[in-house]
Amino acid sequence: MELAPRKCRFPPPLLLLLLLLGLSTGAIVNWPTEEGKEVWDYVTVRKDAHMFWWLYYATNPCKNFSELPLVMWLQGGPGGSSTGFGNFEEIGPLDSDLKPRRTTWLQSASLLFVDNPVGTGFSYVDKDDAYAKDLATVASDMMVLLKTFFDCHKEFQTIPFYIFSESYGGKMAAGIALELHKAIQQGSIKCNFSGVALGDSWISPVDSVLSWGPYLYSVSLLDDQGLAEVSQVAEEVLDAVNKGLYKEATQLWGQAEVIIEQNTDGVNFYNILTKNAPMSPMKSSLEFTQSHLGHLYHRHVRHLNQDSLSQLMNGPIRKKLGIIPEDCSWGGQSKNVFLNMEGDFMKPVISIVDELLEAGVNVTVYNGQLDLIVDTVGQEAWVRKLKWTELPKFNQLKWKPLYSEAKSSETSAFVKRHENLAFYWILRAGHMVPSDQGDIALKMMRLVTQQE
């Protein structure tokens, strides 16, 4: 098995021959047979660090893939898998029962799922010191992956390329977008980068934490006593962040969540209209589950690695892919991915969004109305902190309603756009916007990628 850093695995004539002979190369398989082309592989992005990606060519009855954009999807956590959760639970062609998804984004874009940071999903490290510990490493690893990808798949170099993301994936997407913009300017990566979309994204964690209390109070999920308790711990988080004590801030963030859980009878952080679903016990020591990081991991990564999805990925999907090393299990290193980013969680990246806006990169922010962990009020708060010179004009605009179908009178979202910043308020969606509201999420992607 070849897992070393690689150029394209086989020269095209050999590949064609192998396909004609009906031999699986492990890299290109059509499955299910009538669906479009898929390709996947590993890229060694650093010593001992191997990143897995999976590309689906757009399948549209009227358009060739070359007439549609390429969208890269980045999951959160950190440690949540794009190839697993994003693909089978949100936007890919099949759901986790392997049934076709009506609202798949594949009808309007080619989709590139990447398991990042290394150690996430089918990505893996050989040594414990190879995990990423900060956003800079996450972004530079992704530059190696994207350079390899676009060098090997020249057909995508001119196609408009967009990054869409969710949660912590949004924070990574911002950092990655800025590095990609620079790499294109320097000529080191050839691609037609056209914009980044930050979904329910962890851009300014403290703005989320500070808005939890007032948000929950306003929708009858906290009483006066509860509001006071939540506000107090939120102030402590703010204090720690202001002092640059990010690990302490992470610990306090965990405490704030426990206080909310106690005062709301277990509200679900990903959709305030539901309750926390009990999870199966983690396969790890009691000590870990009781530690503050264990608690946070359990809440923020385990829900992306449910047992049923894990069985799918480690069963039929792994078999289909055929290149996953025997000792690598999907999700097996996700806990370590999360723990290694401990010092990065609470760092804001508002200044990176400012740099993107000043550089002329198209930035979209979208947020689910019912999300708590990254509530919309908190997103609006960091947007107001942007130093972008066009912000006053953006603020003066009125939003416009959006409907998922022309015939429908039900408001699905509101949108505001000025120059290269757009904000979508997605109604009736929690944290996972495409899972909760597939129709409007697809429409939004089409709007962002200038197809409507």
Which positions are annotated as active-site residues? 167, 371, 431
**Neighbour-count burial for 2-11, b at 16+ CB within 10 Å, e otherwise:** ebeeeeebee
Which range of residues in 11-19, 120-128, 188-196, 306-314 is near ligand NAG by CB under 6 A?
Answer: 188-196
Q: Which is nearer to ligand NAG, 162 or 253 (CB)?
A: 162
Q: Which is nearer to ligand NAG, 66 or 408 (CB)?
A: 66
User: Among residue numbers 160 through 179, which ones bind ligand NAG (CB under 6 A)?
Assistant: 160
- Closer residue to ligand NAG in complex, CB, 25/157: 157
Least gap, CB of 394 to ligand NAG (angstroms): 13
CA-based end-to-end distance of the chain: 44
Q: What is the DSSP code (8-state) at residue 398? A: P
Selected binder of ligand NAG within 107, 192, 336, 451 (CB under 6 A):
192
Render 414-442 in DSSP notation, one character per residue.
EEEEETTEEEEEETT--SSHHHH-HHHHH
Contacts with 4 (C-beta within 8 Å, 6 or more apart), sequence order: 44
Residue 156 DSSP code: G
Nearer CB in complex with ligand NAG: 37/133: 37
**Mask: binding to ligand NAG, 357-396, rule CB under 6 A, as x and -?**
-----x----------------------------------
Q: Is 420 in the site for ligand NAG (CB under 6 A)?
A: yes
Residue showing tokens 């056209």: 194
Closest distance of CB 68 from ligand NAG, Å:
10
Q: What is the DSSP letter of 31?
A: S
336 is a contact residue toward ligand NAG (CB under 6 A): no
Q: What's the CA gap between 395 and 390, in Å, rounded?
A: 9
CA distances from 198 to 27, 151, 289 (A): 30, 26, 30
* x/- map, 131-160, ligand NAG, by CB under 6 A: ------------------------x--x-x
CA distance 452 to 190: 26
Compose the 54-93 pattern: x for residues touching ligand NAG by CB under 6 A, - for all others. ----------x-x---------------------------
Q: Which two tokens stand for residue 329?
A: 């299990």
Binding site for ligand NAG (CB under 6 A): 64, 66, 155, 158, 160, 192, 194-195, 362, 420
